[in-house]
Amino acid sequence: MKLPKAPRDFSMLINGRHVPGTGSMIERVSPAHDVPVSRIPDGQPADVDAAVAAAREAFDKGPWPWTSGGERAAILTKVAQAVREHSDELAMLETLETGKPLTQSHAEMEWTAGLWEHAAALCRQLYGDSCNTLGASTLGVTLRDPIGVTALITPWNFPLLIISQKLPFALAAGCTCVIKPSELTSATTLILADLIEEAGVPAGVVNVVTGRGETVGSRLAEHDDIDMVSFTGSTGVGKDIVRASAGNLKKVALECGGKNPLIICDDADLEGALDAARLGAYFNMGECCNSSSRILIQEGVADRFVQMFTEAAAKMPVGDPLDESTKLGAIISGRQADTIMNYVQKGREEGATVALGGERIETSTGCFIQTTVLDHVTPESCVAREEIFGPVLSVIRFKTVEEAIEIANSTHYGLSAGIYTRDYDTVIHAARRLRAGTVWINTWLQGHAEQSFGGFKQSGLGRELGRNAVEEYTEAKSVVFQTGARVSWW
């Protein structure tokens, strides 16, 4: 694959028009190759206001909220087809901006198309309710109205996939949207917006304002004409959004961080557990909210498993994401690499043993870190409790399953968890006791559009995906019918 000779220029999309914005441009350099990839407008509050006004008019006066479920389904299905048709272009841009392996980016294009197809199917499944027990002259009906103008704010690690966990379901409900992608990875979202308009979504229904969180994201969160914010990113920023949203009490949906435990018991299939743990720890360079960044291993097999794991992890190819053999690509930025390495140093200071890696990889271009294993981590240490967001695995040892569950539940997070064991009773007990939105049994990182996704505690608010995904973008409205002569109140 050839690297770009010059960055590709993009514009924002506001009310069906490509606009340059009122600020300067942000240039994105490939974290793997150090070449300019894309340039996007550095959006300002005035650009946000223009996009919100367009979305507001499209919702209040436009046809989209009143189109039939069948019409919406047909358009969303066209978007899914368009994603597949443009998958080579989208995957290449995704890899150049994020540093993830190109083979992974190609797989994400298929997952993305599947999300649009799932949303298309739900367009015809948005039901209200009726109440026929209110008396002979009264009938009650509950409707599901689109909530209105939604702001969708997405992170840099899975740009196209995460906007597709939000946008098609908001559109299926009849909402209009203003999207703010990460300034590091905006290209694929901007291309997707064009594909959406080509598929038949009216102008103003989907708007994209690029730029930084402190300007574009903050303005969206506080804007009085925004009815809902859906955000994926760090827990700290999620809290900022909740505070900023208080002005008009807009609805807020959050999918935030995780410090996800994978419990491995003495009776586990260690080969299977090893493969699941390796995927969980190092998929997307560990820059994944669902990363199994904590392995809780029972003492009887701990030494054996750590040896097996470090030998396997040491063989994982780290390098050029355009190489088909690469499993781990580049770290998203030098700033994030510094954060990761600071955590490795904290782990050492807290008494953990660096069983593997723990260093940067010296290369002529790009930003790469070795697959890293920290062993003998204590549950109270920061590397056991804080989200590192890099290829760093913390290994914690436990004696009993009850102790493991207690350790698993001991952080502020609750996004996902898992357990490897052959004991049926242990499986059921752990699945019910673990405080997490997803619990994987003898597997890890299996996600399906048909199942809900979200977190407990400080991992988020609300749920994405599943059969109720569209309802997240609606309000319930009670309608009461009176028949016959009215009985006078007086």
Active site residues: 255, 289
**CA dist 50 to 13, 18, 181, 208, Å?**
10, 13, 17, 11
Question: What is the Cα–Cα distance from 109 to 347, expressed in whole angstroms?
Answer: 36
Residue with tokens 């740009």: 159
281-317 burial string, b = 16+ CB within 10 Å, else e? Answer: bbbbbbbbbbbbbbbbbbeebbeebbebbbebbeeee
84-95 burial string, b = 16+ CB within 10 Å, else e? Answer: eebbeebbbbbb
Helices 87-98 and 102-122: angle between axes, nearest 10 degrees = 120
Question: What is the Cα–Cα distance from 397 to 379, expressed in whole angstroms?
Answer: 9
Question: What is the Cα–Cα distance from 354 to 362, expressed in whole angstroms?
Answer: 19
Handedness of CA 273, 276, 280, 285 (dihedral sign): positive
Tell me the β-bridge partners of 176: 149
Indicate left, alpha or beta for 233 from its phi (over 0: left) and psi (-120 to 50: alpha): left
The full DSSP string for 197-259 is HHHTPPTTSEEE--S-IIIIIHHHHH-TT--EEEEES-HHHHHHHHHHGGGTT-EEEEE----
Judge contact between 386 and 270, C-beta under 8 A: no
**312: its two tokens:** 């396997």
Question: What is the Cα–Cα distance from 277 to 35, expressed in whole angstroms?
Answer: 33
Which helix or strand (DSSP H or E) is residue 301 part of?
Answer: helix 299-314
Secondary structure (3-state) at 156: coil
Q: Please give the single-letter amino acid code of residue 11.
A: S
Question: What is the Cα–Cα distance from 466 to 446, expressed in whole angstroms?
Answer: 14
Question: What is the Cα–Cα distance from 377 to 392, expressed in whole angstroms?
Answer: 12
